Amino acid sequence: MALLSERVLNMSTSATLAMAAKARELKNEGKNIIGLSLGEPDFNTPDFIKEAAIQAINDNYNSYTPVDGYAELKDAIIQKFKRDNNLTYTPNQIVVSTGAKQSLANVAMVLLNDGDEVILPAPFWVSYSDIVKLAEGVPVEVSTSIETDFKMTPEQLEAAITPKTKMIWFSSPCNPSGSVYSEAELRALAAVLEKHPNIYVVSDEIYEHINFTSEHFSIARIPSMYDRTITVNGVSKAFAMTGWRIGYIGGPEKIARACNKIQGQITSGANCIAQRATIAALEASTDKIQYMIDEFLKRRDIVLELLQEIEGFNVNVPEGAFYVFPDISSFFGKTLRGKTINNATDFSTYLLEEALVATVTGEAFGNPNCIRISYAASEAELRQAIQQIKEALQ
Ligand SMILES: Cc1ncc(COP(=O)(O)O)c(C=O)c1O
């Protein structure tokens, strides 16, 4: 009998973490690698949030919390949904988890049976596909390209639906493309879903605040979608709190209670101090984090301008998150410095070895023509990295 389960043997390792490990290896060999592969803000957690955590420690918040989160935190989440998204939830519709990643895993486990299909507009966030497979679901990738700003059209959605379709999962703003679905685009997708009342929607809004368009729109605001949308969010990205591990969902009560049941057997709930800190984060005015959003926008524009100077890079204008997702397929078949580039993975590896810049292959996100470059790095690092990329491609 094999030691490891088929479940884990069939899983792929996170490509972003694999790239970070490879970059670390080269760093240990003395190479000066500029890391643009991780999806992590390079800011410190704001002081007002840190102070709330210190206060919680001093106030002896040290016991198990309610499995689905402190009542005060659930209230803060309810207020946040109302204030930012015009969504109304009751406490029984909210579940706090150990990061949005766990929120997504909970939803997959409570909704999927063997063979149920989940539509993933590609490019999608790297973990979606493996989370779905872990829950015995079948990811159904719908390819998009730079021509449609990496967004799925209603026609594509309609064509991907089968009697086995259980859910559609997407992020807006999107990791990795930075694309933001407008209200009109979401209404058009909703019109297709209205014809298929048994399909649920997972709307991953973790980059909500890192949105350079004038408005973020939640698909659950569309009345026909509210009862079948699970809105996923968290504090990792906008509040620079990746390591605090707090995410949450708002959704139909039946689904929330099922997530609570799963969590009760697996984690007993999220960390108590991080939950108290999250109350401070969510209750604060979003003005308090605007300096980070402004900085991301500034960097996006610098990166776009510099990348456009590199022949062969085809770049869209990402409207949110902190990534650019250039199409680099024009390099396929070329040989540079004796190395042949056949695909995005070869290209990303070439940049690591020859430009000393860590990026992530688009293959990990379901798009084999692109690479993801994170601009959650200082302006000086970004300028230096792109200069090195330019030189390595000459
Ligand atoms: C689209 C998307 N969803 C979810 C997550 C997970 O966030 P968390 O840190 O809250 O688990 C990430 C993190 O990279 C992400 O990019």
- pLDDT of 134-143, one tens digit each? 999 999 999 9
The whole-number pLDDT of residue 386 equals 97
Mean pLDDT to the nearest integer, 70-95: 98
User: How far does residue 223's CA lie from ligand 1's centre (Å)?
Assistant: 26
Pick the residue whose CA is nearest to atom 7 on ligand 1.
Answer: 100
Helices within 1-99 (DSSP H only): 6-9, 15-28, 47-58, 71-85
| Contacts within 8 Å (CB) and 24+ apart, 289-295 | 289/46, 289/209, 289/238, 289/239, 292/41, 292/43, 292/210, 292/238, 292/240, 293/209, 293/210, 293/211, 293/212, 293/238, 295/43
Q: What is the pLDDT of residues 148-166, one digit of tens each?
A: 999 999 999 999 999 999 9
Mean pLDDT of the chain: 96
CATH code of the domain made up of 61-285: 3.40.640.10
Q: What is the pLDDT of residues 195-236, one digit of tens each?
A: 999 999 999 999 999 999 978 999 999 999 999 999 999 999
pTM for the structure as a whole? 0.96
User: How far does residue 335's CA lie from ligand 1's centre (Å)?
Assistant: 36
Mean pLDDT to the nearest integer, 245-268: 98
The answer on pLDDT for 81 being more than 90 is: yes
Mean pLDDT to the nearest integer, 107-131: 97
User: How far does residue 21's CA lie from ligand 1's centre (Å)?
Assistant: 19
Mutating to test ligand 1, I would choose from 37, 101, 211 the residue with most ligand atoms within 8 A of its C-beta, which is 101
User: How far does residue 47's CA lie from ligand 1's centre (Å)?
Assistant: 22
Which one-letter DSSP state was computed for residue 99?
Answer: S
The answer on pLDDT for 68 being more than 90 is: yes
The answer on pLDDT for 15 being more than 80 is: no
**Which class for 385: exposed (0-12), middle (13-18), buried (19 or more C-beta within 10 A)?**
buried
Q: Which atom of ligand 1 lies nearest, measured to the CA of 234? A: 10
User: How far does residue 101's CA lie from ligand 1's centre (Å)?
Assistant: 6
Mutating to test ligand 1, I would choose from 179, 206, 235, 241 the residue with most ligand atoms within 8 A of its C-beta, which is 206
**Residues above pLDDT 70, as percent of the chain:** 100
The answer on pLDDT for 268 being more than 90 is: yes
The whole-number pLDDT of residue 289 equals 96
Mean pLDDT to the nearest integer, 315-331: 96
The whole-number pLDDT of residue 11 equals 87
Do 6-44+289-393 and 61-285 show the same overall fold? Answer: no
Mutating to test ligand 1, I would choose from 231, 237, 322 the residue with most ligand atoms within 8 A of its C-beta, which is 237
User: How far does residue 232's CA lie from ligand 1's centre (Å)?
Assistant: 10
Sketch the domain layout of the chain as residue ranges.
6-44+289-393, 61-285
The whole-number pLDDT of residue 264 equals 97
Ligand 1 pocket list (CB less than 6 A): 39, 99-101, 125, 171, 175, 204, 206, 234, 236, 242, 247
User: How far does residue 345's CA lie from ligand 1's centre (Å)?
Assistant: 22
**Hey, which CATH number is domain 6-44+289-393, 1.10.490.10, 1.10.3210.10, 3.90.1150.10, 3.30.70.890?**
3.90.1150.10
The whole-number pLDDT of residue 12 equals 83
Mutating to test ligand 1, I would choose from 175, 211, 296, 365 the residue with most ligand atoms within 8 A of its C-beta, which is 175
- Taking the CB of residue 375, how many other CB atoms lie within 10 A of it? 27
CA dist 311 → 168, 205, 343 (Å): 36, 34, 17
The whole-number pLDDT of residue 24 equals 87
The whole-number pLDDT of residue 38 equals 84
The whole-number pLDDT of residue 276 equals 98
The whole-number pLDDT of residue 20 equals 80
